[in-house]
Structure 1
């Protein structure tokens, strides 16, 4: 296929060299480090599969499964990547791209239905609250760690619509949180732990509007049933009263459709190089 171990290895090696050069380049610092403070230079490998024909986990290129017959496929040799101690390269693989597209599509749909604000939203970092870190922005951008984690929490403000008859803006949807979940969901334990973490984040308090969107590419066909069993298990484990249990049962949970982008190989071949 168009993506193989040799190409990935070559791209990673090139990126590692680029990181090393950028760390000591006055020209790079002048161009990109606007505040002239100590910063960390990382690499990002964006792997897009034009025809969506990649059927296996991208990371099998690093550790190929043993076939029934014959030899294993070639693996990416990490020893050939000249990455210095402390340096990092992040990878956005085809499956993660599809996940991000699904989130974008879902958010656009919510915005169109006036159930999500156009601008007043950002990614939620509970550790900043717990450790009392001073943050000047109310809504924060996503880090690569958040985008590639099993789930992400987006905090959003209320949605308003102008009422022409009254000449005022009226709230049409309350502020709250949207949780995008990026795991298969094939057991109630997954959702037990998800609820436990969200509770530790102090957002399952009955005050906030909470929506959970199940956005994994290959969801278990019984994922909603597993979620409900996770709620029952969580309520039983912590001895929740009926009111607290009902709040969990009333969580807005929805399966999000997977979005895939396809590009014509013929069109791409005609694009100017």
Structure 2
């Protein structure tokens, strides 16, 4: 029983460390049960492993991420019943909207808010870092009754491995003073929204996106964490055009693209994408050409985070 508790604590530890780099705050109360307020759920209580929150850069409302933490070894991942877990999580999110107890515990004074649910599936032995997409396809016949503006998100072992390596790399860049603690996350302007630009927090939608862009205006640095392997020239053409369209190509800024998984030809594909962009977009400005050619593309080292069950057990006493 103690061993199971210690393994479960690993997901809590890595989630807190990881999301700190993305500007998320953690609510005070963890691992609680709170009264169910919906008779249709046929439950006395709902669990809350941990709740994170951040300000949404588009709406300026507080977004709460009601999180179900799961910690599995490679051999036990197959026992995860996604139907059952997602059904339970949807009930928790639905009930949080009307539960005075939940709101007293977690809102901390916020009046304009929304709640999303997140299933955080951590592989604690680091032997399974693949996506669980095949299991998602088997999710059938479940009723998701979340509030209108609420969603359910899944961070599987592949997502967590990717985000954890971003967090660890950010830590190394800060240690080398190549990025300051004042970095912000870039958000493109939406047609129906005022100009946003940047935020100290990365939304859950951004964390699930194909690339994450950070700006450090103090050190005049732009960093792109790019998730794909760079197997196609056109994917880099899209990225370059995206940077150009959103005015992120600043001659005074150092721009670096980091990839965790990188195919052997990614650097060459990126250089070929620059040539293609110069032709397609009719780029004549010598300063812009020079800036594009100075964009650095690097593969970052793979790291895993390991926890000692014994040390965790001693800390819990």
TM-score scaled by length of structure 1: 0.78
What does 1:186-205 correspond to in 2, within 5 Å? 186-205=231-250
Which of 139, 143, 151 does residue 88 from structure 1 map onto?
151
Q: What residue is the counterpart of 1:68 in the other structure?
A: none
The answer to whether 1:98 aligns with 2:158 is: no
1:55 is displaced (CA, Å) by 5.8
Q: Provide the residue aligned with 1:165 in structure 2.
A: none
Query: Deviation of residue 268 (structure 1)?
Result: 9.6
- Alignment equivalent of 2:274, drawn from 225, 231, 234: 231
Q: How many angstroms apart in 2 are the aligned matches of 1:50 and 1:116?
A: 30
Contact residue 122 and residue 154 of structure 1 kept, 8 A:
yes
Tell me what 1:259 maps to: 303
Equivalence map 1:48-59=2 (5 Å): 48-54=122-128, 56-59=130-133
**Number of aligned positions between the proteins:** 240
Specify the alignment match of 2:186 in structure 1.
124
- 1:219 paired residue number: 262
Cα pair distance change 1:130/1:105, threshold 3 Å: farther
SS at match of 2:270: helix
Aligned partner of residue 42 in structure 1, secondary structure: strand
Report whether the alignment pairs 1:140 with 2:200: yes
CA distance in 1, matches of 2:123, 2:245: 38
Deviation at 1:32, TM superposition (A): 2.1
State the distance in 1 between where 2:302 and 2:189 align: 30
Gap runs ≥5 in structure 2: 1-74
The Cα offsets for residues 137-174 of structure 1, whole Å up to 9 and x where unpaired, read as x742110111110001111132xxxxxxxxxxxxxxx3
1:103 positional shift = 1.1
Distance in structure 1 (CA, Å) of the matches to 2:113 and 2:175: 38
Alignment partner, residue 215 of structure 2: 155
Please report how far the alpha carbon of residue 131 of structure 1 lies from its aligned counterpart in structure 2 after TM superposition: 4.3
> What are the Cα deviations for residues 211-248 of structure 1, in whole angstroms up to 9, with x where unaligned?
21123xx4212111111111111112112224422210
Call closer, same or farther: CA 1:219–1:268 in 2, change over 3 Å: farther
- Once the 2 structures are TM-superposed, how far is the Cα of residue 56 of structure 1 from its aligned partner? 4.2
Structure ID, larger Rg? 1
The 2-side partners of 1:36 and 1:115 are apart by: 35
Residues 152/129 of structure 1: CA separation in 2 closer, same or farther (3 Å cut): farther
TM value normalised by structure 2: 0.68
Structure richer in strand, relative to its length: 2
Aligned partner (choices 16, 24, 45) of residue 119 of structure 2: 45
